[in-house]
Amino acid sequence: MNTPYPAPVANFQRSDGSRVSLAELIGGKTLVLYFYPRDGTPGCTTEACSFRDQYEDFKSAGAEVVGVSSDDAASHEEFKGRFRLPFTLLTDEKGVAAKAMGVKKTLGLLPGRVTFIIDRAGNVVHRFDSQFNAARHVEEALQIVKKLEAP
């Protein structure tokens, strides 16, 4: 795990157009917040489906999974439906939340792929940044969540 630090102020758009803050998403539970480049691309689909396949393990460990990209609500809904994703996808339309979280573009072009584990107190306890190892985001996140939630 990394050295914990307070999660920054960040806001996102839900599929219904309403806004939600990072603090509201945490809401007293462990949050796995993952930023990904784009709905439907091969790496992003692999990552989302891996989170889907492990979703019950995350829930059992006391965590919620939320994905974030700059795609709009219609794109998110199509992506969720097509791959039966049980977790929330949020929009960061102009990359403001990504910037607040320190998510950088790869090669200055491709939106970053970064997963954050945020504890119940609102501290970022782990950050995993890998554009090209999408499946590892899920493995690492689940290991960290289980450590956090262990009695």
pTM: 0.93
Q: Measuring CA to CA, which residue among 114, 144, 148, 138 is closest to residue 128?
A: 114
Q: In the chain, what percentage of residues exceed pLDDT 90?
A: 73
Which candidate in 10, 25, 31, 44 is catalytic? 44
* Annotated catalytic residue 49: no
Which residues of the chain are under the pLDDT cut of 70? 1-2, 107-108, 150-151
* Phi, psi for 42 (deg, rounded to 5): -55, -50
Return the CATH number at 42: 3.40.30.10
- Looking at residue 28, its pLDDT comes to 81
* Count of domains observed in the chain: 1
- Which residue segment(s) compose the domain that 92 sits in? 5-149
Alpha helices in 19-121 (DSSP H): 22-26, 42-60, 73-83, 96-101
